[in-house]
Structure 1
């Protein structure tokens, strides 16, 4: 099966995109093992640890990203520029990721046969 890319570019809890993207990844993992996941722009905020969505009466789907390892989804990339622009580092995130520059993000996205953006 062809490589599928999932791109998160929206901040968490402002829309349902993050939760829908996570659900789509978990569903697609039943059919494909060649999945790459990208967090760019405000999407890096999806992975911030210690979020308290219940304070805004939102569902805590963020902890669901920890399940990616259980599904053997290890190709998870975070944009280095997006992190630094927000004053963040990889140790601020709730899962292990590969922090890479924009150029590598673009190269890896180009290798995906299908790309879904959330």
Structure 2
């Protein structure tokens, strides 16, 4: 069975790439049984709960991340160094499991997928 890894490396509201990535993940879940979500660099900001993008006249597409378990995606992977570099601690109040990995281990996980798509 083919597998696909989605890497999110951009902040959520600077452009539409994050929204497009989440839409792609949900669509791919209908085709692929093994999907991995990896949040690195600025992409970790997409996981911060209680964001209020409507204050800058944008839609809160991050609510779609809460649907991941329904689509069979139970664990996401985050770069531990990305959190540390930005002075953040781990995010714990999400509806899915988050596994924090150092960059070397993150790369090993990503290399286990047939396709890699970066957003």
* TM-score, L = length of structure 1: 0.93
Q: Distance in 1 between matches of 2:61 and 2:84?
A: 24
RMSD: 1.3
Q: Aligned pair count? A: 118
What's the offset of the Cα at 1:92? 5.7
**8 Å contact from structure 1 (residues 48, 92) kept in 2:** no
Partner residue, 1:87: 87
Separation of aligned partners in 1, 2:78 and 2:43: 9
Instruction: Tell me, in whole angstroms, the C-alpha distance in 1 between the residues paired with 2:53 and 2:62.
Output: 9
Q: Return the alpha-carbon distance in structure 2 between the equivalents of residues 56 and 43 of structure 1.
A: 19
Unmatched 5+ residue regions in structure 2? none
Match of 2:105 in 1: 104
Q: Counterparts of 1:23 and 1:62 in 2: how far apart (Å)? A: 11
In the TM superposition, structure 1's runs of 4+ consecutive aligned residues that sit over 4 Å from their partners are: none
TM-score (normalised: structure 2): 0.93
